[in-house]
Amino acid sequence: MDTPHIPVLINEVTNIFSNLDSGYFVDCTLGYAGHSYEILKKYKNVKLIACDRDIEAINFSKNRLSEFGDRVNFFHTSFSKIIDECESLPIRGILADIGVSSLQLDKLSRGFGFDSEVLDMRMNQSDGLNAYDVVNRYPKNELERIFRDYGELREYKKIAKKICDEREKTPIDSAKKLSEIIGTKSHFGGRKISPATLAFQAIRIEVNDELNELKTLLESIKASKIDNCILAIISFHSLEDRIVKQTFKSWTKSCICPPEVFKCECGDNHSIGKILTKLSEVKDNFDRAFAEENKTGDLAAFEKGIKLIQEQFNKVLEEFGLETIDPTGEVFDPNLHEALMNQPSDTVPEGSVIQVFQKGYRIKNKLLKVAKVIVSSGASA
């Protein structure tokens, strides 16, 4: 069965779970079943727990995965609840690809895209709250909160006011109308992404309670009796990424005593696993994902920027009065990165290497990120 979507990081995901030889694999975000299909095809003795809150994803994937017969069990539920459904099974792998799916973005009837004539954004269309409710019924201070906290918009007050002013005239009943009100062109703060994109993201997160869903999933895994299991999270939004990193880090801590305690009093036995893949180890994966996912032409600009930085390291830095750095060092040296990214846009010549670098890196920063941890049972409260 043909699929309209190629899953991101497919090779990285299958390799992460290379030790799967039996037991159950939990796909928390089934979507078009791209990751699950490859896992089932590659690891013949593994069974699948296929979870998605979107019934369209479940129905599509039942057909796509039909060749695997009774190796697949489907659950139409939120991923925050899936571990409670199956923790008694021998789970050896868990994958969650966080955020909106291609299935949802591709269909204008779902109300996620700028051109949609509806305003919905529910991942589970049986849920009560939708984007229309948020946009037309939330008080101004609540709109400000979600645009500030979930969209990380600098002009969150201005955008909230524009929405409130417009909805007083007539209800905002389509994503297309909402995008026109907010604005789809980048015009503030030197950002290379439109305010509407960030505002839509914020509304979607609010409608689907996405951050709490992720937190609950992680908490349920920690509280479960799952043992000898690899967990991989693919995240897009910086808030999601932060939650995952902080959680993984906390899971590695054996001692949880307060910093001021001189001698351990907690038993020093609270670690439930170890991080197997860190940011530096998956940087190449980011590059490959960028190459696969970006079709806008900015990839060439990014590659040009990297090449020029490598070739003209000190020349560029000296031009802007910055301290030179050994050109044989890491391209993404933190000092260099900070210096380049912090150059005010009005001081950076059009077409210069720094402008190209800034543009490329901001796009690169939107890439999907993957983190991996192995979870063991026996965590103490």
All domains in the chain, ordered by first residue? 10-97+210-284+369-375 (3.40.50.150), 103-208 (1.10.150.170), 295-364 (no CATH)
pTM of the model: 0.72
What three-state secondary structure class fits 165?
Answer: helix
Distance CA 42, CA 105 (A): 28
Is residue 302 within 8 A of residue 363, CB to CB? The reply is: yes
Amino acid 43: pLDDT:
94
Amino acid 165: pLDDT:
96
Instruction: Look up residue 125 and give its amino acid.
Output: Q
Angle subtended at Cα 278 by Cα 18 and Cα 30, rounded to the nearest 5 degrees: 50
Which of 92, 93, 116 lies closest to 104, judged by CA?
Answer: 116
Distance CA 319, CA 296 (A): 30
Q: Is the dihedral of CA 264, 266, 269, 271 positive or negative?
A: negative
Is residue 372 within 8 A of residue 19, CB to CB? The reply is: no
Q: What is the pLDDT along the chain (381 residues), one digit of tens a residue?
A: 555 566 777 887 888 898 888 999 999 999 999 999 999 999 999 999 999 999 999 999 999 999 999 999 999 999 999 999 998 999 999 999 988 887 788 788 899 988 899 999 999 999 999 999 999 999 999 999 999 999 989 899 999 999 999 999 999 999 999 999 998 776 544 455 788 889 999 999 999 999 999 999 999 999 998 888 999 998 877 888 889 888 988 888 888 888 788 888 888 888 888 777 543 333 444 444 444 444 444 445 445 444 444 444 444 444 444 444 443 333 344 444 555 555 555 555 554 545 545 554 444 443 323 333 444 433 332
Is residue 276 within 8 A of residue 259, CB to CB? The reply is: no
